[in-house]
Chain A
Amino acid sequence: MEELDGEPTVTLIPGVNSKKKQMCFDWGPGEMLVCETSFNKKEKSETVPGCPFIYIIRKDIDVYSQILRKLFNESHGIFVGLQRIEEELTGKSRKAQLVRVSKNYRSVIRACMEEMHQAAIAAKDPASGRQFSSQVSILSAMELIWNLCEILFIEVAPAGPLLLHLLDWVRLHVCEVDSLLADVLGSENPSKHESFWNLVTILVLQGRLDEARQMLSKEADVSPTSAGMCRILGDLMRTMPVLSPGNTQTLTELELKWQHWHEECERHLQDGTFASSPHLESLCKIMLGDEAALLEQKELLNNWYHFLVTRLLYSHPTVKPIDLHFYAQSSLDLFLGGESSPEPLDNILMAAFEFDIHQVIKECSIALSNWWFVAHLTDLLDHCKLLQSHNLYFGSNMREFLLLEYASGLFAHHSLWQLGVDYFDYCPELGRVSLELHIERIPLSTEQKALKVLRICEQRQMTEQVRSICKILAMKAVRNNRLGSALSWSIRAKDAAFATLVSDRFLRDYCERGCFSDLDLIDNLGPAMMLSDRLTFLGKYREFHRFYGEKRFFDAASLLLSLMTSQIAPRCFWVTLLTDALPLLEQKQVIFTTEQTYELMRCLEDLASGRPVRGEPGAQRLQEDIENTKLEMLRLALARNLARAIIKEGSLEGS
Chain B
Amino acid sequence: MEEIYAKFVSQKISKTRWRPVPPGSLQTAETFATGSWDNEENYVSLWSIGDLGNVDSDGGFEGEHQLLCDIKHHGDVMDLQFFDQERIVAASSTGCVTVFLHHPNNQTLSVSQQWPTAHYHTGPGSPSRSSAPCTGVVCDNPEIVTVGEDGRINLFRADHKEAVRTIDNADSSTLHAVTFLRTPEILTVNSIGQLKIWDFRKQGNEPSQILSLTGDRVPLHCVDRHPNQQHVVATGGQDGMLSIWDVRQGTMPVSLLKAHEAEMWEVHFHPSNPDHLFTCSEDGSLWHWDASTDVPEKSSLFNQGGRSSTFLSHSISNQANVHQSLISSWLSTDPAKDRIEITSLLPSRTLSVNSLDVLGPCLVCGTDAEAIYVTRQLFS
Contacts and interface: CB of A to CB of B under 8 A. Distances in A.
Contact of B8 (A74, A445, A520): A74
Contacts of A67: 10
A263 B185 CA distance: 93
Interface in A411-457: 414-415, 418-419, 445-449, 451-452, 455
Given A70-B370, A520-B192, A482 B151 contact: yes
Interface string B170-206: 0111100000000000000011101010000000000
B206 to A, nearest CB: 10
Nearest to B194: A520
Contacts of A415: 11-12, 38-40
A139 to B, nearest CB: 15
Contact of A480 (B130, B190, B212): B130
B282 interface: yes
Contacts of A446: 76, 78, 93, 133, 149
Given A447-B191, A452-B352, A488-B191, A520 B172 contact: yes
Interface string B112-126: 000000000111100
A633 interface: no
A400 to B, nearest CB: 22
A359 interface: no
A53 B123 CA distance: 32
B254 to A, nearest CB: 20
A526 interface: yes
B169 A517 contact: yes
B217 A528 contact: yes
Given A414-B40, A415-B40, A526 B215 contact: yes
A77 interface: yes
Contacts of A451: 238, 263, 282
B150 interface: yes
B10 A484 contact: no
Interface in A438-494: 445-449, 451-452, 455, 459, 478-485, 488
B280 to A, nearest CB: 14
A414 B8 CA distance: 18
A482 B348 contact: no
B307 to A, nearest CB: 22
Contact of A73 (B39, B192, B212, B369): B369
Contacts of A521: 172-173, 192
A479 B151 contact: no
Nearest to A522: B172
A484 B351 CA distance: 31
A66 B10 contact: yes
A77 B151 CA distance: 38
Given A74-B8, A77-B369, A520 B216 contact: no
B350 interface: yes
Contact of B123 (A74, A481, A488, A519): A481
Given A414-B39, A452-B282, A520-B171, A479 B123 contact: yes
Contacts of A257: none
Contacts of A81: 348
Interface in B115-156: 121-124, 130, 132-133, 135, 149-151
A478 B125 CA distance: 12
A452 B37 CA distance: 13
From A414, A483, A518, A524, name the one whose CB has the most chain B CB atoms within 10 angstroms: A524
Interface string B70-96: 000000101000000000000001000
From B8, B123, B190, name the one whose CB has the most chain A CB atoms within 10 angstroms: B8
A527 interface: yes
From B38, B190, B191, B351, name the one whose CB has the most chain A CB atoms within 10 angstroms: B38
Given A69-B370, A452-B352, A524-B217, A485 B173 contact: yes
A76 interface: yes
B131 to A, nearest CB: 10
B174 A485 contact: yes
From A80, A414, A448, A518, name the one whose CB has the most chain B CB atoms within 10 angstroms: A448
B349 to A, nearest CB: 8
Contact of A77 (B132, B262, B263, B350): B350
Interface string A163-183: 000000000000000000000
B246 interface: no
Nearest to A65: B10
Given A77-B348, A445-B76, A481-B121, A526 B263 contact: no
Interface string B93-120: 1000000000000000000000000000
A567 B317 CA distance: 54
Contacts of B371: 73-74
Contacts of B11: 415
Contacts of A484: 151, 171-173, 192
A80 B150 CA distance: 38
A67 B8 CA distance: 9
B368 interface: yes
B210 interface: yes
Nearest to A442: B38
Nearest to B12: A415
A418 B78 contact: no
Given A447-B174, A480-B121, A481-B124, A418 B133 contact: no
Given A415-B38, A447-B174, A518-B172, A482 B121 contact: yes
From B133, B135, B191, B350, name the one whose CB has the most chain A CB atoms within 10 angstroms: B191
Contacts of B368: 418, 452
A70 B8 contact: yes
B36 to A, nearest CB: 9
A480 B123 contact: yes
Contacts of B216: 526
A484 B210 CA distance: 17
A451 B169 CA distance: 22
A418 B263 CA distance: 16
B60 to A, nearest CB: 14
A447 B37 CA distance: 13
A26 B204 CA distance: 55
Contacts of B351: 76, 418-419
A485 B217 CA distance: 13
29 contacts: A70-B10, A70-B370, A73-B371, A74-B8, A414-B40, A415-B38, A415-B40, A445-B133, A446-B93, A448-B135, A451-B238, A451-B263, A478-B124, A479-B124, A480-B130, A481-B121, A481-B123, A482-B150, A483-B172, A484-B151, A484-B172, A484-B173, A488-B191, A518-B172, A519-B172, A520-B190, A520-B194, A524-B192, A526-B215
A-B residue pairs, 9 tightest by C-beta: A484-B172, A518-B172, A480-B121, A70-B8, A69-B10, A415-B38, A446-B133, A521-B172, A73-B370
Interface of A: 66-67, 69-70, 73-74, 76-77, 80-81, 414-415, 418-419, 445-449, 451-452, 455, 459, 478-485, 488, 517-521, 524, 526-528
Given A455-B262, A482-B151, 20 more contacts: A70-B8, A73-B8, A77-B369, A419-B351, A445-B38, A447-B191, A452-B368, A480-B122, A480-B130, A481-B124, A482-B149, A485-B173, A488-B192, A519-B172, A520-B171, A520-B172, A520-B192, A521-B192, A524-B194, A524-B212
